[in-house]
Structure 1
Amino acid sequence: MQDVIVFETRSLHSLVKVFSDEELRAESYTRSSVLRGETFNFQVAYRAPALTKPIHVSVTSTLQAVITLREVGLAPSELPCQRRHDDNVLRVTPGLYPDPLYPIVRDRGIVGIHYQWRSIWVTVEVDEETPAEEYSLDVQFATVTGERLGGECFQLDVLPAVLPPQTLIHTEWFHADCLANYYEVEVFSEAHWALIDKYMQTAVRHGMNMVLTPHFTPPLDTQVGGERPTVQLVDVRKEQDGTYEFGFNRLVRWIELCERVGIRYFEFSHLFTQWGAKHAPKIVAEEQGEVHRIFGWETDATGEAYKSFLCQYLPKLTALLQERGLENQCYFHISDEPLLEHMPWYRSASELMQAYLGDFPIIDALTNVEYYEQGLVKGPIPANDHIEPFLNRKVPELWTYYCCVQYQQVSNRFFNMPSARNRVIGVQLYKFQIAGFLHWGYNFWNTQYSLQAIDPFRVTDAGRSFPSGDAFLVYPGEEGPVESIRMEVFYEGLQDLRALQLLESLVGRDRVLALIEEGLTEPLSFSRYPSDAEWLLGLRERVNQAITFASESTKRGESHES
């Protein structure tokens, strides 16, 4: 290998993944446009001629107050992808992948390692009141003595239009027990509540406006016969005559915290076990002065005991939600990912819940359209590789999701996938007018089936079970969440969706769809789309310019009429 003789830098777009063990092939990217109210990301890659530390990184710009610099860290992956992967991946070998975004501590700076390309992630949170003009962002690298090593200048054109609010309902399943486990705090202690607050704020800043609400401990990714730590928001007391009393103080605190940080929708955790709806979730109650589990894997979901419990509980819960004016913001789950052979149990559970939930929507991730056709779930959430039958039946307010098994052709966000494959979901959600997006792993820091907790900085594949990048979007930092490339890029996709909706409001849906598919050899779908980042970035630039032109034309028309 030829020695690097100078400190090198290169400005890159956010969809490049910079690997430390390969040559940087991506071309320089030095300018872009952004709408007001939008978060914009780019990178500055660097390579030092020798071990160099500390290196100070700074940015000079009139936008300086809204710019954040972070270091792109490397995360290990033993299982980067499934065996039968497609060709739209960066690599398939275990190793170190760029993903966590570490805050840069000014006094410590960063380190340059000889021969290794590394990257600085630059985030610009453009305010809605930011003047529309072109801004220079000068990112510089210097030694501790102030000697300049190198740098890059990026031109960002802030356009006059304001990005509209997000209409998509978006949930990444929030695992409160994983917070308590990792930080070693008592569940629902003040320390736990403070962590919940921080992690929810980060989620909201990245487009999550719905949260999985554990009225009872969610029966998700739990080994049959096993259990996860109790994170039950509702107090239950069982009387000697078989009736129940319910306390909602913690649930109310949860709701108020969510509303304060910007969560608008609540999805109440599943009332029947995953993959079959055959059992009750773990529910603890006070009985004769002692708190113990009263329902769980030993409970027959179709039995009279659990039916009696739900018949008493659901009316009390829905009354509370209606008193707080939340009847249009709450969703319920029966059982996650049921198969066709589970239909008898799911049918029984569905009939019971529909009898007591009235107009409250019931949503569930599933594959088989028969559950919708037979009226067992009015809000099906098919995976993006099984969505076609639901689109063909024109299911209203249709949602979608993906997880570890969606790795052929469709969008997903594993470590080893190009970031364009992550971001393209925004255009797809727009074209097919998808109402909601669900993912199961905001912060799942366990092995599969929750057999043990893991250190997410060392184990990124749920104990060699799910491809790295599937189980969580955030890492547990000392002071709170450490965000990831995948989280930032997915949010860029959500902003693309909002920009397309804005353009539609100005020129009509047909013109927007024509713009999206201009030059494509086949219509864009969930499984067919251009895989290169340049197409996606180019489309977004064309959308931005079309928004600017249409907005100016509208203003001229209004001025003329007046």
Structure 2
Amino acid sequence: MSHTLTFETRLLSSLSKVFADEELSQASYDRGSSFGNETYSFQVAYRSNRLLKNIRVHLQSELSHRITVRSVGLVPSEMPTYHDHDEFILRATPGLYPDPLLPLASVPVITGCPNQWRSLWITVQPDGEIKGGTYEIRIRFETESGESLGEEVFTLEVIPATLPDQTLIHTEWFHADCLANYYEVGIFSERHWTLIDQFMQTAAQHGINMILTPVFTPPLDTEVGGERPTVQLVDVEVSEDGQYAFGFDKLDRWADLCDSNGIQYLEFSHLFTQWGARHAPKIMADVNGKPEKLFGWETDATGEAYHAFIRQFIPALTGWIESRGLEQRCYFHVSDEPSESHLEAYGHASRLMNELLPDYPIIDALSDISFYEQGLVKRPIPGSNHIEPFLDQQVTPLWTYYCCSQYKEVSNRFFNLPSARNRIIGIQLYKFNIEGFLHWGYNFWNSQYSKRAIDPFKVTDADCGFPSGDAFVVYPGEEGPIESIRLKVFQEGLQDLRALQLLETQIGREAVLQALEEGLEEPITFKTYPRDPEWLLSKRQWINDKIRESLAVK
């Protein structure tokens, strides 16, 4: 048996997932194009036939100052999927899955584990500072002593044009308590504010332009009767005559961070509990100089005490909104994911909110159209697998969401799903003129129902609560957020959406839709769409070429 060293490399698109224990199935992918304000990613896979430490990685390119090279880390998944999953998956077995994008040391070195494919993730961010043109990106691998192991050259064309600003409203629920838990810092300590700032910045860089804002501790994913740590931005003081005074200093600081990070929309946390709107969120107050819990699971949401509170709180909050000129940037929630059995309780809460907030949008994730038909929700957010009745009734404006329940047919981003199934959402959002997209898990690093805090590098399925990849798209790194493959690929879907909007200004919407579906056996819907990553890549290249042609004509 030969003991000579062999070292293999292959260029891959961002839509490949490289598993350590299987052969590469994707063809080499060595060229692409992007616009001057677009983030572009590709991968270099590598494999050594024996253990090889301290492999040096050299990047050579005119663009090197705009390029980051990261290692695709592996994390465990004990529950990658449900028992009755569909067939559009990569695998259903527990094991190690590629997901976090780990920064390399200042001198980039990697390890070749024997006979395991691994990959580097290369991201180019022109940020409008690169001239149009074609650039080579050379990645070279060397041994510690400087001998060449191999190299790959990727060719990127930067098109001298920019994508339009994102119009889609996009929220991934931001869990401020999880930051404090993981990093072991006091809630709203200076260190906590720094972390909030860093994680907001990463969100904004990836097209998340709306942030869940915890005016009170969000009543989300909490066991009935259980509590999450208090992350309440509004201070409440109770006077002796039962009147309330509200302090907005922390909310001011939060809004300032949103502004400085370019986040356009504030999404105020739900004012009634999840799955039924029957109780109040946890609300802490200063009563005679001492902190006390005013409301929570023991509070009847339809009771006089809570109604009296809400009737004082909402005018104070809208007064704050108006004082800052945020009227066009604020959204409210009643309760998350009510179902038919909750119509009565939700109706009570909804009527109160609509009475107090006639001029503000109220949005809620739900999938039963009767809530809309009865006028209880004017801006419903149906799950992507329940959206057809809302499309049929031409509900506008229309949003959509997905979470763990949307695991058959539709787009999603679990670890075990192909990245093409993640990215296709951009084309679907474009075709159906969707105004907003919501997801509940930006950084939910808890078990299901928040019974305990978890380490997301070790537990990726919320203690077998949801398929791995549902609960978060960022990891907590020592220096701040660590991005995931899934966050990057979803961002590519959002960039596809903007590219389609740009093309529409040149050839018209009808022509764009026709071109998208050319040669397909059936029209694109949320459940039927091309599944081949090659289709997505070549369609995006076609869009870019078409835009470039129009620019040349002008």
Are 2:495 and 1:500 equivalent residues in the alignment?
Answer: no
1:144 maps to 2:168: no
SS at match of 1:153: strand
Answering whether residue 410 of structure 2 is matched by residue 410 of structure 1, we say yes
- Cα distance, 1:130 vs. partner? 1.7
Letter in 2 for 1:218: P
Aligned to 2:255: 255
* Residues in 2 aligned to 1:300 and 1:145: alpha-carbon distance in whole angstroms: 71
Q: Which moved more, 1:336-345 or 1:155-164?
A: 155-164
| Alignment partners' CA distance in 1, 2:464 and 2:136 | 44
Corresponding residue SS for 1:162: coil
* Aligned-partner SS, 2:377: coil
Q: Which amino acid aligns with 1:100?
A: P
Instruction: Write the distance in 1 (CA, Å) between the matches of 2:474 and 2:82.
Output: 22
What are the superposed Cα offsets for residues 93-144 of structure 1, whole Å, 9 maximum, x if unpaired? 0000000000000346111111000000000002324211110000111122
The answer to whether the Cα contact below 8 Å between 1:337 and 1:364 also exists between their aligned partners in 2 is: yes
CA displacement 1:311-336 (0-9 Å, x = unmatched): 00000100110111111110000000
Structure 1 residue 475 corresponds to structure 2 residue 475? yes
Conserved? CA contact 1:3–1:115, under 8 Å: no
- Relative to structure 1, is the Cα distance of residues 107 and 137 closer, same or farther in structure 2, using a 3 angstrom cutoff? closer
Residue-by-residue CA offset, 1:234-276 (whole Å, 9 max, x unaligned): 0000112111000000001000011101110000000000000
| Aligned-pair CA distance for 1:148 | 1.4
- Residue 289 of structure 1 pairs with residue 289 of structure 2: yes
C-alpha change, 1:4 and 1:99, in structure 2 (3 Å) is farther
Letter of the 1:333 partner, please give it.
H
Q: Contact 1:44–1:121 at 8 Å: present in 2 too?
A: yes
Partner SS state of residue 478, structure 2: coil
Other-structure match for 1:388: 388
Q: How many angstroms does 1:23 deviate by? A: 1.1
Question: Which residue identity is paired with 1:33?
Answer: S
Q: Deviations over 1:366-397 (max 9, x none)?
A: 01011111111111000100000111111112
* AA of the residue aligned to 2:516: I
The one-letter code matched in structure 2 to 1:443 is N
User: Are the aligned partners of 1:74 and 1:99 in contact in 2 as well (CA < 8 Å)?
Assistant: yes
Q: 1:161: Cα distance to partner?
A: 2.0
C-alpha distance in 2 between matches for 1:182 and 1:459: 13
Q: What displacement does 1:5 show? A: 4.3
Q: Distance in 1 between matches of 2:515 and 2:36?
A: 22
What's 1:423 paired with? 423
Q: Give the Cα separation in 2 of the matches to 1:464 and 1:4.
A: 43
Task: Confirm or deny: 8 A CA contact 1:4 1:115 kept in the other structure.
Answer: no
Q: 2:226 aligned with 1:233, yes or no? A: no
Deviation string, structure 1 residues 458-514 (Cα, Å, up to 9, x no partner): 000000110000000011111111110000000000000000000001110001001
Structure 1 position 334 matched with structure 2 position 334? yes
CA contact (8 A) 2:57 2:108 kept: no
Distance, in Å, in 2 between the alignment partners of 1:2 and 1:387 is 58
- 1:181 is matched with 181
1:3 CA drift (Å):
7.6
Describe the SS at the equivalent of 1:156: strand
2:74 is aligned with 1:43:
no
Find the counterpart in structure 1 of residue 374 from structure 2: 374
Give the AA of the match of 2:437: F
Q: 1:159 to 1:414 in 2, by over 3 A?
A: same
TM-score of the superposed pair, with normalisation by structure 2: 0.99
Counterpart residue type for residue 350 of structure 1 = S
What amino acid is aligned across from residue 255 of structure 1 in structure 2?
Answer: A
Q: Could you tell me how far apart the structure 1 residues matched to 2:396 and 2:465 are?
A: 34
Gap runs ≥5 in structure 2: none
Letter matched to residue 445 of structure 2:
W
- Are 1:207 and 1:491, in contact at CA under 8 Å, matched by a contact in 2? yes
Question: Deviations for 1:415-449, whole angstroms, at most 9, x for unmatched residues?
Answer: 00000000000000000000000000000000000
Stretches of 4+ aligned residues off by more than 3 angstroms: 1-5
Do structure 1's residue 66 and structure 2's residue 66 form an aligned pair? yes
Alpha-carbon contact 2:168-2:434 (below 8 Å) kept = yes
Counterpart of 1:132? 132
For residues 4 and 275 of structure 1, do their structure 2 counterparts lie closer, same or farther at Cα, with a shift above 3 Å needed? farther
Q: Residue type matched to 2:172 in 1?
A: E
How far did residue 82 of structure 1 move? 1.1
Distance in 2 of aligned mates of 1:421 and 1:259: 32
State the shift of 1:49 in Å. 2.3
- Give the letter aligned to residue 166 of structure 1: Q
Q: Which residue does the alignment assign to 1:548?
A: 548
Question: Does the alignment pair 1:524 with 2:485?
Answer: no
Question: Which residue type is aligned with residue 398 of structure 1?
Answer: L
SS of match in other structure, 1:539: helix
Q: Secondary structure at the match of 1:161?
A: coil
C-alpha distance in structure 2 between counterparts of 1:87 and 1:408, whole Å:
9
- Amino acid of the residue matched to residue 398 of structure 2? L
* Alignment partners' CA distance in 2, 1:511 and 1:16: 30
Identical amino acids, percent of aligned pairs: 62
1:272-321: CA deviation from partner (whole Å, max 9, x where unpaired): 00000000000000111210101000000000000000000000100110
Question: Residue 558 of structure 1 aligns with which residue?
Answer: none
Alpha-carbon distance in 1 for matches of 2:526, 2:2: 44
CA contact (8 A) 1:4 1:48 kept: no
Q: Which residue of 2 aligns with 1:222?
A: 222
Given that residues 238 and 245 in structure 1 are in contact (C-alpha distance below 8 angstroms), is that contact kept between their aligned partners in structure 2? yes
Aligned counterparts of 2:64 and 2:532: Cα–Cα separation in 1 = 31
CA distance in 1, matches of 2:436, 2:70: 30
Residue 83 of structure 1 and its aligned partner are, at CA, apart by: 1.0
The residue identity in structure 2 corresponding to 1:324 is R
State the alpha-carbon separation in 1 of the partners of residues 431 and 278 from structure 2.
37
**Structure 1 unmatched runs, 5+:** 556-562
Counterpart-to-counterpart distance in 1, 2:202 and 2:110? 24
Kindly provide the amino acid, as one letter, of the partner of residue 297 in structure 2: W
**Which residue does 2:14 correspond to in 1?**
14
Deviates more, 1:3-12 or 1:197-206: 3-12
Task: Say which SS state the counterpart of residue 512 (structure 1) adopts.
Answer: helix
Tell whether the 8 Å contact from 2:198 to 2:480 is kept in structure 1 after alignment: yes
Cα distance between partner residues in 2 of 1:456 and 1:55: 28
User: Any idea what SS the aligned residue of 1:527 has?
Assistant: coil
Of 311-320 and 155-164, the range deviating more from structure 2:
155-164
Q: Residues 222 and 449 of structure 2 are in contact (CA less than 8 Å); yes or no, is this contact kept in structure 1? A: yes
Conserved? CA contact 1:81–1:92, under 8 Å: yes
What TM-score do you get using the length of structure 1 for normalisation?
A: 0.97
